[in-house]
């Protein structure tokens, strides 16, 4: 049995979490845009031990055609866990959990994608979880958001996602596996952020128990975390544009030499 499956005696020791984080601290995050050649937009993202990849295709023709909407684009989102992404091999293919995550994630993106600009077309978002460690749906939402920008899909803002958990009676930002498994609550959020400001909540789920006051505090904690992630999403996109700019400079310089 792995250490993950055994309940630790305490989740908070001397005011710090088991991985040394403060209550309001995110796990380390790494984001890289445009990692796949065949997708219109893509992103690789790590959030702690979560490793996910997002690929966006579209706007493109809808297949099967009867799914076409003459007034707007259809948004499709598929969350999938690789069989090797969790401790015990996961059976490949969709299950109830992945269908539910795909549905709520799709609805979060429907709130931001300017679908009316692309009638009769489809915008397909695929997210693959390569390694999961709690909060994989939040990591996937963050990656998908960057991949959509990378694909040039017009959006009203960014979707940025983070969860708040409750461990040993304390609210904790971005819970990892032990806190998710053995904590008292888990509350994933996704926010619509425009020009650096949180405009609305696009996804909110919860399991476990929180008081009304804790819910209020959890929202504030999640907002604080989301604004930090938003900056990292922006930086990943900007880095990509700078790289493309440099590649273009090299090409033009080459032209001048010729």
Residues that bind ligand ADP (CB under 6 A): 86, 88, 90, 97, 132-137, 177, 180, 186
* In the complex, minimum distance from the CB of residue 237 to ligand ADP, in angstroms, rounded to a whole number: 23
- Judged by beta carbon, residue 74 or residue 127, the one nearer ligand ADP is 127
- Cβ proximity to ligand ADP: between 87 and 249 the closer is 87
User: Residue 243 Cβ, how far from ligand ADP at the closest point, in Å?
Assistant: 31
Measured from the CB atom, the residue of 153 and 187 that comes closer to ligand ADP is 187
Q: Which is nearer to ligand ADP, 101 or 193 (CB)?
A: 101
For the CB of residue 108, give the shortest distance to ligand ADP in the complex, in Å: 13
d(CA 71, CA 211) in angstroms, rounded, equals 43
Shortest distance (Å) from residue 113 CB to ligand ADP? 21
Residue placing its CB nearer to ligand ADP in the complex, 135 or 225: 135
Q: How far apart are CB 105 and ligand ADP at their closest, in Å?
A: 10
């Amino acid at each position: 049995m792995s250490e993950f499956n055994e309940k630790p005696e305490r989740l908070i020791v001397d005011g710090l979490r088991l991985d040394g984080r403060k209550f309001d601290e995110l796990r380390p995050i790494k984001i890289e845009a445009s990692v796949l050649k065949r997708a219109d937009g893509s992103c690789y993202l790590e959030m702690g031990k979560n490793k996910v990849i997002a690929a966006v295709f579209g706007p493109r023709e809808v297949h099967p055609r009867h799914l076409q909407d003459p007034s707007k684009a259809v948004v499709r989102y598929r969350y999938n866990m690789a069989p090797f992404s969790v401790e015990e091999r996961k059976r490949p293919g969709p299950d109830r959990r992945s269908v539910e995550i795909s549905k709520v994630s799709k609805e979060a993106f429907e709130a931001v994608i300017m679908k009316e600009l692309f009638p009769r077309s489809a915008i397909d978002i695929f997210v693959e979880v390569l390694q999961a460690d709690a909060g994989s749906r939040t990591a996937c939402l963050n990656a998908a958001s960057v991949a959509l920008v990378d694909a040039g899909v017009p959006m009203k803002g960014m979707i940025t996602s983070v969860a708040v958990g409750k461990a040993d009676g304390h609210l904790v930002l971005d819970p990892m596996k032990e806190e998710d498994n053995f904590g008292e609550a888990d509350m994933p959020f996704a926010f619509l952020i425009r020009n650096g400001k949180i405009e609305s909540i696009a996804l909110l789920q919860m399991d476990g128990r929180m008081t009304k006051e804790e819910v209020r505090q959890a929202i504030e904690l999640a907002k604080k975390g989301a604004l930090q992630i938003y900056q990292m999403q922006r930086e990943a996109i900007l880095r990509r544009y700078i790289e493309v700019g440099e590649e273009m400079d090299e090409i033009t310089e080459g032209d001048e030499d010729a």
